[in-house]
Amino acid sequence: MTCSVDVRGGSPAVSGAGVELVDAICLAGGSLYGLEAAAGVAAELLAQRDYRTDWLQIPLVAGAIIFDWGPRDNAVYPDKELGRAAVSAAAAGSVPLGARGAGRSATVGKLFAYEESEPGGQGGAFRQAGGTRVAVFTVVNAIGAIVDREGNVVRGQYDRESGLRRALMPTLEERLAEGRPVRPPPGNTTLTVVVTDLALEPRQLRTLGRQVHASMARAIQPFHALEDGDVLFAVSTGAVESDPLLDTTALGVMASELAWDAVLSVAP
């Protein structure tokens, strides 16, 4: 599959970012150590290909990680063996949502402290328009909170004393007026994969990724902050040569709405 990567935020960690064709994309926790899982994915694909080493049989795997050690007190990370196990356990049509997989220890809404965070996790959404199919998968471990289409915070920035979620700007202004510093905790990130079966040229695929990634700031606020390492992989399988109903900009609009749906599915 053809692949383009859009990297934003101040703290990303990516492997295979320059690979324009991929067999798999591995999203993991464990910060930098979790990149080892992508090597496990490649190793398992190699085994499934009977260890053939000719040029076109080498598995191409891209990967990215989240920092998920904030809310937990152990050094467990997804290693090579877990990457291999993930490939073996993969099932067509199955995408676990919520605190599962790479999103097991993810949290969101940490602008004012870990104490006001809530569980994040994995999300996904799918749509077909005309002859084109699009799916978006995301792992949300953002410093920002999840916001619905009415502008309400639906996950994160949770005040346990009042049982309410804090609105972003009023709370920020109140803290600054009181002389209380706002120092977000480090170690966040949202990872996203946009997949379509419409054949796209490299420039079109790159632009699609940028369009969708920028749109996600509607669903996660704040987004692409210094403490985030947001990465989006845009992938085309090329199964549909052309679609008279969709140009790439319209495809980007549809995928952007799906990305919002995927983020919201983390917090149903």
Q: Provide the pLDDT for residue 18.
A: 83
Q: Provide the pLDDT for residue 163.
A: 85
Residues near 50 by beta carbon (within 8 Å), at least 6 away in sequence = none
Q: Provide the pLDDT for residue 171.
A: 87
Q: Provide the pLDDT for residue 93.
A: 86
Options 132, 138, 189, 190, the catalytic residue: 189
Query: Residue 196 catalytic?
Result: no
* pLDDT tens, per residue, the chain with 268 residues: 999 999 998 999 999 888 899 999 999 999 999 999 999 999 999 999 999 999 989 999 999 999 998 878 889 999 999 999 999 999 988 889 999 999 999 999 999 888 889 999 999 999 998 889 999 999 999 999 999 999 999 999 988 888 888 888 888 998 899 988 888 888 899 999 999 999 999 999 999 999 999 999 999 999 999 999 999 999 999 999 988 888 899 999 999 999 999 999 998 7
